[in-house]
Structure 1
Amino acid sequence: MANKDRIPEKMTAIAISQPGGPRVLKPETRDVPVPGPGEVLIRVHAAGVNRPDVQQRKGAYPPPPGASDLPGLEVAGEIAALGDDISRWRIGDRVCALTPGGGYAEYVKVHAGSVLPIPAGFTYSEAAAVPENYFTVWHNVFERGGLKKGETLLVHGGSSGIGTTAIQLASAFGATVFTTAGSKDKCDACLKLGADRAINY
């Protein structure tokens, strides 16, 4: 692992002490994870809060097998160390990343393929809100679904994080966007984001 000498052995992490509300999130001392081949270690500056994090805190969303028990599916920070076989990233690079969990900590290890450079002009806090929604929409709508300019996309739950991202990306790439949402205010918000029509269900 490159840069091993500058990484502490211990870190502070925010763990779920028991299922419940926000007060069950407690600081704990944990070992700093060690990146393996194809992984990077990120010094976390900001972490996103997503529905799965909230559900995990409530005890309704167990982490996948082999994933950290800590919440935190998206982070922004800087590369602190490199596992073997990493060529794209350098120590000190400002990045955001989608994680399998563990983002509510000072350090998190992430597969290098789940890391993106922080967009120009973004703060760490802004960048930490990018990976979960944008990776999900890009992969499902554009890579798997193959959405192209001139086609039509229906987005259910258009005012959700995934929904607002899908509306903006599809609209930016020249698709016609229909969406559903649960109130007039939510429908109006979808229209402002670029939806061509919003249906209040």
Structure 2
Amino acid sequence: MAIIKRGLPLLSGSFGLLVMLAGCGGGDSSLPGVRPAGAVGGKAVDAVLVGSTIRAYEWDKGTTVSGVIAEATTDSAGHYTLDPSYKDAYLLLKATSGRYTEEATGTSVPLKPGQVLTTLIRYESGKAITSHITVLTHWAACQAEWRALLQLNNNSDAVGLSNDVFSAMAGVSIREVEPLNITDPNNASPVMNAGLQYGIFPAAISSLTQEL
């Protein structure tokens, strides 16, 4: 299954700097407290991405404005956990490299250079966040970039409205619901739960690309 590439390129910006100044005077030599980390975790799926590198960057007004804030590698189930110690900001999470098993054929496929999946989140220092990285979160990130750069939406509207569009398409929260592999017997269910409903999308794209 081919990874969907960006319609609009992600624009790289200058490295963001976090400057910590020590207080002085009054004989108090204490330093400012360390910013608390807030775990960001989820699953990277285009079928399950194994050994994929997940990197986080600060995102503002449609472009990345920092270097790598945090980095992790997905496990055999596609799960990742990032532990950024960062200010409150919108973060772009980018999945590159690794491999997935083509659902339509069972073939193991490595990601090629330039193939990427992304998601955008609102990070709040010290708070745990779940955000899966899928084709739909990638499309939402593309639309958010378009809204910010060309429609001049603020960050909140650009990200929020774009996620709403694709969540409505899937019928589930595209960042919070974990997509399940509908070809895995362990996920069999007599009812269509949210995870299976979400999992239809990568499976359908897999079948389509196989036919093409």
Give the TM-score normalised by the residue count of structure 2: 0.28
Higher strand share: 1
- State the TM-score, normalizing by the size of structure 1: 0.29
Q: Which gives a bigger RCO, structure 1 or 2 (Cα 8 Å, sep 6+)?
A: 2
